[in-house]
Each structure stands twice: as C-alpha cells, then as structure tokens.
Amino acid sequence: MCRLRSSCGPLAFVFSVLTLTVPVLAGEGELAGLLPESTVLYVELQPAVVLERLLAHPVVKRIEALPQYKVALANPQLTQLRAAVTLVELRMQSTWPELVASMTSGGLVLAVDGKTDGWILLGKAANSEVAPRLRDTLLSFARQQAREHRQPDPVRSGEYRGILAQQVHNVRIAVFDQWYLATNKSDLGKAVLDIYLDKSAATLASKDSFQQAIQKRSPHTDVWAYADLDYLRRAGVAADLFSGKADNPAAELLLGGVLEVLRKAPYAAAEWSLSEQRACLRLYAPIESGWIRQPREYFFGAGLSGQAADLPRPEGTLLSISTYRNLSEFWLRAGELFDKETNDQLAQADSMLTTLFSGHDFGRDILGAIEPQWQLVVARQQFAADQPVPAIRLPAFALAGQLREPEKMRRELRRIFQSLVGFLNIVSAMQGQPQLELDEQRDGDLHLVLARFIPEADRPADAQVPIQYNFAPTLGFRGSRVVLASSPVLARRMLEDCPSEPVPPGTNTGLLIDREPLRQLLADNRTQLVSQAVLERGRSREEAEEEIDLVLKLLEAVDRFQMRLVTGEMIALEFELGFAGQQD
C-alpha cells in the first residue's frame, strides 16, 4: 500500500489504491427514500467515483505535471489540511481514499429541507462498522482540542427512539446501521430517523416532481441535483427572479425565456458527468408552450417553434453563436418586459438610434427587416499585406441574418450604412481621429459596402498602429443574406459558402468555442497581455510571461466548448467541454 506521499504523485497515490468498482449513483432513490417530502434541494453524488474520474483524468495529469502545481501545493493551508488528514488516516488505520470509498459506497446526498430550513448530509457506508469508528475518531479530536483550550466537553449525547444522537457545536450526528447523517436542525434529523424507523412512505422519493425529474436523468451521471421550484416560489425565494419584470436588457435577451419557464415549472434538475473525452453539465426542467406569456414570445417563437440556424464556422472561427430571437418584437414590447427606469433609458436609446439610422424606426424598420434567426461569429483576424497591422490584434466579428424583403432592404441598409460612416467621420474629424474611407466590392451576387481607416501617410515608422485599425466596418449582402462585420474578409467568408455545423432540432441557441483560434489569438497578443498584467495586476515581467504561457499550455488540454439551449418536451441548457487527445 502506498502510504508514503513522497514516493508517489501527491494526488495520484490516492487512486493507486482505489480498485473498488462502484456503480455510479447506486442510490437510485434509496437515499431520497429517507428524506422528507419537504426537501427542496437535493444533490446526490458518489464521491469516490467522482474523485477517481477527476484525478485519473488526463487533463488533471497534465496539470499535476506543471511546476506551478507543485508551488500551489506548498500553500500553508493545504499543508495543514494534509496534516489533519494524515492524523485521521493513522487513527483509522486506513488511507483517506479507502475511507471515502467505504463511507460512501451506498451514495452520499446533501439536501436542504424547506420545512425546517436546515441542511442535511446523508450517506450510506459499505458496512455498519466504518461510520461509527470514523464518528468516534472525529469526536475524540473535538474533545481533545477542547481540552487543550481548557473548554468543556463539546460533545453532547442523547438518544432518539433508541438511536444515539450527538451534537458538536451546531452539528447533529446520528449513525444507524450503514447509514449516517449530519444536520444543523435536530427536527430534520428526527424526521429522517422517523422515516427510517417507521418505513414511512411519504418521502421525497415518492414525490411526483422528484419521480419525473429522476426519470429524465441521463444514464451516465456522476452528480445529480434536483430543486423543487414549486416550493421555492411559494416560499418567496428569489422573488425578483420569478416575477418577470426585468431591469437588464442584456440579461433579458440571454435568459428572459428561461426565467419565463422557471415561473411555472414544478422542478429543475442538473446532472454532471466526466469522461476522458468530455465534461458535461446539463440543466433541465419541463416546459409547456402555454407557460410563455406574449411579451416573451420573442424568445422561443410562437408555440416554441423558434429554431436557430446552423452554426457558421468560417476559417479562424473562435466563437460561433446561432440563436432564435425576434429582436424586433423584443424592442417593441420593451414596455411590458422592463421596469419603468429601464424603459426610460430604452426610450432615450430609441431616440438616439433612430437619429443614427437616419430617421428609420429602429425597432420596426431596422430590426423588423431581418428574420429572427441570428448568427454571430468571432474569428481570428488576418491582416492584408497592404494594411497596417495594429499592435493589439483584436478578433473580427460578424453578425448575420436573412432579409425579409431583400430587394428593398439592401438599398435601404446600404444608404443607412453610408450616412452612418459619414456621420462618424464628422465626429472623429472634430476629435482629430483617423478617417474612414468608403469602398464597395461586387463579386457576382455578392456585394460588400465597407469603410476602412485610411493609413496615415507620414506616420513615423516606429509609431504604434492604433487599435482602431482592427475595424473596417462592412455590410455585406448575398441573396437574402445580410452580414454586418468588422472586417471585409470575414464578411466575405460568411457570405461565400462557409462551413457550418448543424444544430439539433429544437435548438433555440447554440454556442461553440474552438480552442485553437482562441489560443492563437492569445499568442498573437502575448506581449501586450504581458504588459497589461504588469500594469494592471502588479506582476513582474517574468511572472506575467509565466502566467500567459501557463494559460496557453492549459488551453492545449481542451478541445472545444459547446453550449446549447434546447426545447422540446423539456427545456435543457447543456454545456460540454471536450478534451484534447493525449499528446505525450
């Protein structure tokens, strides 16, 4: 048995001994069957398995190999913690991984009870010996510590229906057969013991919403959580969240529809899983189209019919988003969506935007001219040989959609674009800023209207090219497709038949981040990022360089990140992080 930390990797040693194969989430409602119906929050996990998966993971191995990791381990608080663990190991004559495994082989649950407002930790051990022994060991430490500080015995013991119940500080503990519990409310502890002793049927496990939630659980789940939304709403928890009037337009656009569902859904659940290939987090809740009130129909479309378009991935794409949002509807219904102060601000923004868009009503004429399927792409930028390369290289972005009346709107939008550039030029001339030059490119049915910052003729050679040169505002058309981009190159790529990735049916919003272009973007700007860390985080140059190189190195361990908001029978928000294959 590997007991000597020095001879093994500090985390890896833990798992050389973990040979037990335990079914994941063995509880399958067994633990829930001991909890009262009034349980509002329930998190179930298999600590030994979760830890094993995590620590045996190739990415974690990579992290362990980094020199910075060893430095982090030397942290005094960690050292203290390790000393305490060693002490427990010695008393129990076992290693802590073994202990974790045998203490939680039947599952472990952390729950919050609505009736008593208390929390409870409930677990099932492999046998009926280990839990009492661990309890006695821990209690003896508490007593010893109290003696050292000349304090009275901190442990109070009693009995509840023949079961020994103890209290240390604010925590109540009881061990019964293979089971054990710890809670901050004795009523909650008693409720669980009553269920256990009386074999009571009215438990969390028998609750409808819990049953429904657990049936929707994916097979390979390492950690699973359930929240009783009905109860939370009744109790007035986070009332603002459920009320429906927003004060933040950006948050409303991102999450308004989800909040709308949470107003009605009886429960929400979350599941987490990890494998060598990916880590997934999925949040889900039931949904019905009748729950969505009219002002928020912009979010999912009428009858939840809104479907996002494909995710475009032109060359160098580091972020691609595709979403269904009826923005015109959103803008026009702002009065019903937001509180008074926000609406006052939006009224001012509307006045300003309508001025900028040469008198066109922003909500109706501009946003209304475009279909509600929007795509946003952020891509690493390549600069043409004859263009100045700015010292800070920002990525290019492009926003794309479909025109409702292409013939009419192309000319209209082009004119608005031109007057906007003229307006910007007048303002920046007053401030002595560089000027934009209008240009047009036509290529078959592809048409670009663009504006470039003109290079300053007699600039000293060593002068920094300013950050504005990252931008060459471009409006592009092809058929009914329209693109607004910060670079003509990206606009063209978006309009030519660019590669794209389909999204599953029912996808409201899809998001994809690609590792390599992101890593390259950071690498492009390494010097600047180092300087920023020196000025804004008080780092020395060497430290800053080490930090950015570490980030670049860590990025090599991941592959791509995806997020999806999907509706159907359920509404689900899914996050998935893919890992790069082993390289060394």
CB of 460: closest distance to other proteins in angstroms? 9
Q: Which DSSP string corresponds to 51-113? A: HHHHHTSHHHHHHHHSHHHHHHHT-HHHHHHHHHHHHHHHHHTS-HHHHHHHHSTT-EEEEEE
Site for other proteins in 214-243 (CB under 8 A): none
Task: List the alpha helices (DSSP H) in 462-540.
Answer: 488-495, 515-524, 526-537
Residue 419 binding other proteins, by CB under 8 A: no
Give the per-residue SS3 of 252-300: HHHHHHHHHHHCCCCEEEEEEEECCCEEEEEEEEECCHHHCCHHHHHHH
Among 219, 290, 444, 538, binds other proteins (CB under 8 A): 538
**3-state DSSP helix/strand/coil % of the chain, to nearest 5:** 45, 25, 30
Dist CA 116 CA 112 (whole Å):
9
Binding pattern for the stretch 356-375 against other proteins, x by CB under 8 A and - elsewhere: ---x-xx-------------
CB of 427: closest distance to other proteins in angstroms? 12
| Residue 280, both tokens | 């997934």
CB atoms within 10 A of CB 58: 16
Q: Compare residues 350 and 501 and give the one whose CB is closer to other proteins.
A: 350
Interface segment toward other proteins; rule CB under 8 A; list 15-23, 340-348, 506-514, 548-556: 340-348
CB of 27: closest distance to other proteins in angstroms? 40
Residue 392 binding other proteins, by CB under 8 A: yes
Residue 249 binding other proteins, by CB under 8 A: no
**What are the backbone dihedrals phi and psi of residue 344, each rounded to the nearest 5 degrees, phi first?**
-60, -40
Residue 402 binding other proteins, by CB under 8 A: no
Binding pattern for the stretch 289-328 against other proteins, x by CB under 8 A and - elsewhere: ----------------------------------------
Dist CA 527 CA 539 (whole Å):
14
Residue 416 binding other proteins, by CB under 8 A: no
β-strands 558-567, 446-453: how paired?
Answer: unpaired
Q: Compare residues 365 and 556 and give the one whose CB is closer to other proteins.
A: 365
Q: How far is CA 536 from the centre of its chain?
A: 26
Residue 351 binding other proteins, by CB under 8 A: yes
CA Rg value for the chain:
30
Residue 532 binding other proteins, by CB under 8 A: yes
Q: Compare residues 1 and 430 and give the one whose CB is closer to other proteins.
A: 430
Burial of 44 (C-beta count, 10 Å sphere; 0-12/13-18/19+): buried
Site for other proteins in 444-473 (CB under 8 A): 456-458, 463-468
Interface segment toward other proteins; rule CB under 8 A; list 26-34, 165-173, 386-394, 552-560: 386-394
Interface segment toward other proteins; rule CB under 8 A; list 1-9, 269-277, 303-311, 337-345: 337-345
Q: Compare residues 246 and 280 and give the one whose CB is closer to other proteins.
A: 246
Site for other proteins in 57-96 (CB under 8 A): none
Q: Compare residues 118 and 363 and give the one whose CB is closer to other proteins.
A: 363
Q: Compare residues 169 and 245 and give the one whose CB is closer to other proteins.
A: 245
Residue 259 binding other proteins, by CB under 8 A: no
Assess contact for 558 and 515: CB atoms under 8 A. yes
Among 63, 138, 139, 534, binds other proteins (CB under 8 A): 534
Assess contact for 350 and 362: CB atoms under 8 A. yes
Residue 501 binding other proteins, by CB under 8 A: no
Q: Compare residues 270 and 436 and give the one whose CB is closer to other proteins.
A: 436
Residue 354 binding other proteins, by CB under 8 A: yes
289: left (phi over 0), alpha (psi -120 to 50) or beta: alpha
Q: How far is CA 152 from the centre of its chain?
A: 47
Residue 539 binding other proteins, by CB under 8 A: yes
Q: Compare residues 277 and 464 and give the one whose CB is closer to other proteins.
A: 464
Site size toward other proteins, by CB under 8 A: 41
| Residue 553, both tokens | 């190195």
In the numeric block, the tokens 């002793």 are attached to 197
Q: Which residues bind other proteins (CB under 8 A)?
A: 341, 343-345, 347-348, 350-352, 354-355, 359, 361-362, 390-392, 431-432, 456-458, 463-468, 527-528, 530-532, 534-541
